[in-house]
Amino acid sequence: MLMPVGWPLVFGDTMEGTGGKSTNSNAVSNAVEESMAAALRSAGLGDMVGNVEVKQMGYSENVLERVISQHGITDREGFLAFAHTADEDGNNYLREDELQNAALKWKQRPMQSVNSMSEDQESVESLLQLGEECSRKNDSKGALSAFNKAIALDPSCDMAWFNRGVLLEAEQDARGARQAFQICLDINPNNAPATANIATLLERIGDDAAAYEMAVKALEFFPGHPMLIDVKNRCAESGIKMPMESMPVQTPTQSYEDSEVQEVMKEVGVDDKEAILAEAIHHDEDSNQHLEYEELKSAAEMVAATQEIQQVIENTESVVAKEPALEIAVATPTPVVEQPVAELRENQVIDIDVLVEQATSMIRNGEPKSALELLSPHLKTIAAEHAGAWRIAGGAMARLELDSHAISALEHAQSIDPNQGSGWFNLGSIHQRQGNDTQAVECYMKAMNVQTDYLKAALKCSQICYNNGDLENYIESTRTVLRIEPNNAARDEYIRILIELAEGEANVLDSVQGIPPTLPEGPHLAQEALDMLGEGETEFHARAYTAAKNDVQAVTVWKSMIKKDGTNPKIWRGLARSLESAGDLATAEKCHRKADSLSGISTPETAQQETTPPQPVEPLSVLQPQIQENIQPTQDPQEKQADYYMNALGLQSQVTQESMTDTPDVANSSSLMESSALLNHEPVSIQQSEPTQPSFDLTKAAADAQQLVANSANTEVESSSVANQDIAWYNQGVGLIGDGKFNEALSCFDRALPSFTGDEEMLIRILNGRGNAYYYLEDYPKCVESYHQAMLIRPAEVQGKTLYNMGSAYAEMERYPDAIKCFEQSIPRGLGAEEVKRAKEQIRRCGILQKEANRKKKRR
Q: What is the pLDDT of residues 533-579, one digit of tens each?
A: 888 888 889 888 888 778 888 888 988 899 888 888 888 988 888 88
**CA-closest candidate to residue 628, choices 727, 721, 761:** 761
Cα–Cα distance for residue pair 1/187, rounded to 1 Å: 13
> What fold is seen in the domain 352-599?
1.25.40
* Low-confidence winner among 94-103, 168-177, 791-800 (lowest mean pLDDT): 791-800
Q: Which residues contact 93 (CB under 8 A, 6 or more apart)?
A: 57, 58, 59, 87
Local confidence band at 457 (pLDDT 50, 70, 90 cut-offs): very high
Residue 337: the pLDDT is 37
Local structure of residue 119 (DSSP, 8 states): G
Residue 725: the pLDDT is 58
User: Each residue of 22-44: b (16+ CB within 10 Å) or e?
Assistant: beebbbbbbebbbbbbbbbbebe
* Low-confidence winner among 256-260, 681-685, 818-822, 852-856 (lowest mean pLDDT): 681-685
pLDDT above 70: residue 204: yes
In the chain, how long is the greatest CA-to-CA distance? 140
- Structural contact between residues 462 and 478, judged by C-beta atoms closer than 8 angstroms: yes
The residue-averaged pLDDT of 623-627 equals 30
**CA-closest candidate to residue 725, choices 691, 696, 699, 761:** 699
How many helices (H) and strands (E) the chain has is answered by 39, 4
pLDDT above 60: residue 703: no
Cα–Cα distance for residue pair 484/477, rounded to 1 Å: 11
3-state secondary structure of 548: coil
Residue 269: the pLDDT is 85
Residue 633: the pLDDT is 34
The residue-averaged pLDDT of 784-809 equals 80
Report the Cα 588 to chain-centroid distance in Å: 49
**CA-closest candidate to residue 509, choices 479, 471, 482, 548:** 471
Residue 392: the pLDDT is 92
Q: Where are the beta strands (DSSP E) in 348-478?
A: none
Cα–Cα distance for residue pair 591/568, rounded to 1 Å: 12
Structure confidence by residue, pLDDT tens digits, 823-851: 888 888 888 888 898 999 999 989 888 88
Cα–Cα distance for residue pair 209/410, rounded to 1 Å: 39
Cα–Cα distance for residue pair 483/372, rounded to 1 Å: 37
Cα–Cα distance for residue pair 232/220, rounded to 1 Å: 12
Cα–Cα distance for residue pair 772/779, rounded to 1 Å: 10
Cα–Cα distance for residue pair 420/447, rounded to 1 Å: 7
Are β-strands 255-256 and 93-94 bridged in parallel, bridged antiparallel, or unpaired? Answer: unpaired
Structure confidence by residue, pLDDT tens digits, 291-333: 888 888 888 888 888 888 887 777 666 544 444 433 333 333 4
Helix H or strand E encompassing 160: helix 158-170
3-state secondary structure of 94: strand
Residue 481: the pLDDT is 92
For domain 636-688+730-859, the CATH architecture is Alpha Horseshoe (1.25)
Give me Rg for the CA atoms of the chain: 41
- Structural contact between residues 229 and 219, judged by C-beta atoms closer than 8 angstroms: yes
pLDDT above 60: residue 433: yes
Mean pLDDT of the chain: 72
User: Each residue of 108-145: b (16+ CB within 10 Å) or e?
Assistant: eeeeeeeeebeeeeebbbbbbbbbbbbbeeeebbbbbb
> CA of 742: how far to CAs of 661, 684, 766, in Å?
15, 17, 14
Other residues' Cβ atoms within 10 Å of the Cβ of residue 404: 12
Cα–Cα distance for residue pair 369/194, rounded to 1 Å: 31
Other residues' Cβ atoms within 10 Å of the Cβ of residue 632: 10
3-state secondary structure of 622: strand
Cα–Cα distance for residue pair 166/530, rounded to 1 Å: 67
- Structural contact between residues 85 and 122, judged by C-beta atoms closer than 8 angstroms: yes
* Burial class for 50, CB neighbours closer than 10 Å (0-12, 13-18, 19+): middle
- Structural contact between residues 576 and 591, judged by C-beta atoms closer than 8 angstroms: yes
- Structural contact between residues 92 and 58, judged by C-beta atoms closer than 8 angstroms: yes
Cα–Cα distance for residue pair 420/411, rounded to 1 Å: 12
Local confidence band at 8 (pLDDT 50, 70, 90 cut-offs): very low
Cα–Cα distance for residue pair 193/165, rounded to 1 Å: 11
- Structural contact between residues 53 and 37, judged by C-beta atoms closer than 8 angstroms: yes
pTM for this structure?
Answer: 0.37
Higher local confidence (pLDDT), 688 or 748: 748
AA letter at 778? E
- CATH 3.40.50.880: does it fit domain 158-246? no
3-state secondary structure of 255: strand
